[in-house]
Amino acid sequence: MTTVNGGVSFWYAATGLPRRRAPLAGNAQADVCVVGGGYTGLWTAYYLKQAAPELDVVLLEREFCGYGASGRNGGWLYNGIAGRGRYARLHGEDAARRLQLAMNDTVAETLRAAAAEGIDCDAHRGGVLEIATTPAQLARLKDRFAHEQAFGADPVQLLDAGRAAERLYVPGTLGATWSPHGARVHPAKLVLGLARAAERLGVRIHESTPVREIAPGRAVTAHGTVTARTVLRCTEGFTAGVPGQKRSWLPMNSSMIATEPLPAEVWEAIGWDGREVLGDEAHAYMYAQRTADDRIALGGRGRPYRYASGIDQDGATPAGTVARLREILRRMFPAAADAGIDHAWSGVLGVPRDWCAAVDLDPATGLGFAGGYVGSGVATANLAGRTLRDLTLRHLGRGGRTDLTELPWVGHRVRRWEPEPLRWLGVHALYAVYRHADRHEHAATSPLAALADRISGRA
């Protein structure tokens, strides 16, 4: 069997890549210019036009809507948010709890909006199952469970090995947590449907339109300049390609494989009838879903970072990364060990230096941004879009403070990443430590991995 490698992602395999909308045709004016046609930019434009239909909103996308992580991710719509612990230390636990509760609500809001717009994205709200397969992982899982309860993520359940196996059989599982705040989605169906919904509301979308410069009052492209009172950067993992943003967020690579459709006897051995999204407590963690057509789509880090914040263009994945993901599949799902791998692909996600997602709009310049989701962007982008909506309406004199604009991630700033070659050396050294810890730690978390967390900003 031949594995398709790249071609953006498996999620477009059945339909082919979408037909591109026309690029910008000369200079234009708008009230709001959104740069980036992924979840963040589209949700922002969508909610803006819902709240204020009279606003002229233009969205500029370098390739096509859903080309980046929004069309390549693992389909985890869940309530995780990057940086919650740091926000608790900076702003207090009550502020962090408000942020967590907003994320809990975001899962339902995303599904509600998709249903309201008739977007069939294979959604199934089976919750989030995260497993531990070593004593060290089990200790981390129990610690995270205690934190989830403290931050308002009830009713998270702590499962022993037997109860975990009733949901999904993974050899060696010692325990698990299950949260109802999660759903499986088909990423490309969601982003393409969202683009159509935004367009129906009147958002002007221009694809094949790379933005060369973002400045107060304008976004400059090779096809013309869009002049707007508010310009919002929603470029997530591709932010390093925006002039002046090379060291703002690190583009972290994540890779995936998708099996062929698996027969009934394999699913009988595995279980997974609840179709929960699945993760583990390894330092170099994996993530997976059972797709609507009964495949296993499974991802992990592979080669985490390309020198000088390089970004692949079409999702091509090194053979060694595909082999490592295949080994994870075999170890976790022996019944699927001989399954064919239909597709392998990669994408990038945005990682701030302190691993904290953030959203902001400067009233003095009219420039705003959102991102830095560190792999939790499917739901977080929806909350970011609604928050950018409120900040933009306030900036344009059409609204005031809201519960969303008062969340602790609004206005958060972080120092830039180190210059090369320190950035490349540091990231690869840290992930070498994480992989070593995953192979060798047993009863307790590796001290080296704990140190790596502090150095990287994850802790």
CA distances from 257 to 132, 336, 343 (A): 22, 13, 6
Instruction: Say what the pLDDT of residue 443 is.
Output: 67
Place of tokens 């003095």: 364
Contact 316, 5 (CB under 8 A): yes
Contact 202, 53 (CB under 8 A): yes
Residues whose CB is less than 8 angstroms from the CB of residue 226 and which lie 6 or more positions away in sequence, other chains included = 24, 27, 28, 29, 30, 33, 58, 60, 218, 219
Contact 304, 428 (CB under 8 A): yes
Overall residue count recorded for the chain in this entry: 459
Token couple for 399: 């609204």
Residue segments in the chain with a per-residue pLDDT below the cut of 70: 1, 152-154, 442-443, 449, 451-452, 455-456, 459
Residues whose CB is less than 8 angstroms from the CB of residue 213 and which lie 6 or more positions away in sequence, other chains included = 219, 220, 243
Instruction: Say what the pLDDT of residue 431 is.
Output: 79
C-beta atoms surrounding 443 within 10 Å: 9
- Which helix or strand (DSSP H or E) is residue 449 part of? helix 447-456
How many angstroms separate the CA atoms of 318 and 314, rounded? 12
Instruction: Say what the pLDDT of residue 454 is.
Output: 74
Instruction: Say what the pLDDT of residue 439 is.
Output: 82
pLDDT in tens, 245-303: 999 999 999 999 999 999 999 999 999 999 999 999 988 889 999 999 999 999 997 77
Place of tokens 């869940």: 78
